[in-house]
Structure 1
Amino acid sequence: MSKQSLPVEDAASGACCSPLIREPLTTDWAGDLARMFKALGDPVRLRLLSIVASHAGGEACVCDISDSFDLSQPTISHHLKVLREAGLLDCERRGTWVYYWVIPTALQQLSSVLAAADPTADDAALVTA
């Protein structure tokens, strides 16, 4: 998924995308979201994202991540690559190690599109995270 394919933030509302309950997804946007959700559908990748997101400073070295799993380094690298390709993580090589961090806008997009309305409020009060 290219970063250019993500929806542009709506300056008026501050939201990056409309909840499913407000308007249907476009074909392209549904494909982009499906790649993110598919990447998160694996328990190892979901844990990896959680470990990176909760690591001190908001980024984690692959050397810090590896000890949390009973998996080989190539397997962990594969899962991290899937998360990167889905647009959920980014990384940077520093010397011998690669450092990863969560792309906050990706999580906001997933949250926004699944936002639910308060059943007691009118349409203007939709939760858009």
Structure 2
Amino acid sequence: MSNQERMLTVLSEAVGCCSPLVREPLSAEQAVELSRVFKAIGDPVRLRLLSLIASHEGGEACVCDLSGVFELTGPTISHHLKVLREAGLISGERRGTWVYYRVHPEALGRLSAVLLPDEAPAVTG
């Protein structure tokens, strides 16, 4: 099992089984795993990378499309993508020279399910 698959399994177990925070407290193990994921998206560059990938046409983005957006070196971008990948939020597929990234919407859905109360009030503008 790859590190990414293991993290997705852990995330699924930590988040997928949890009710919203307002209903019952997290276990120590769930809190540790959730904090790793939130730490991954707690960095502004990683949060922006996640958003760029998710909103890119076709739901995937080439690393070549992501690198030019930031004033960071290629290795730094690669590091941030690795953190997101290890947190189970994205996956990458090598195609020739480039790696294409996709967001795991189910991971984001599980995170949001933990944060939303059972009966979230309607958002009014």
- Please indicate, yes or no, whether the TM-score normalized by the shorter chain is above 0.5: yes
Ranked by relative contact order (alpha carbons within 8 Å, sequence separation 6 or more), the top structure is 2
Q: Distance in 1 between matches of 2:43 and 2:12?
A: 25
Q: Which runs of 5+ in 1 are unaligned?
A: 9-14, 118-125
Maintained 8 Å contact 1:16/1:109: no
Partner of 1:61: 62
Q: Which runs of 5+ in 2 are unaligned?
A: 1-5, 121-125
- With the length of structure 2 as denominator, give the TM-score of the two structures: 0.83
Q: Tell me the distance in 1 between the aligned counterparts of 2:37 and 2:95.
A: 26
Identity %: 64
Partner residue of 1:6 out of 3, 6, 11: 11
Number of residue equivalences: 113
Which consecutive aligned stretches of 4+ in structure 1 deviate over 4 angstroms post-superposition? none
Q: Which has the larger radius of gyration?
A: 1
Indicate if the aligned counterparts of 1:16 and 1:112 stay in contact, CA closer than 8 A: no
Between Structure 1 and Structure 2, the one with more helix by share is 2
Q: Paired residue for 1:72? A: 73
TM-score after normalising by structure 1: 0.80
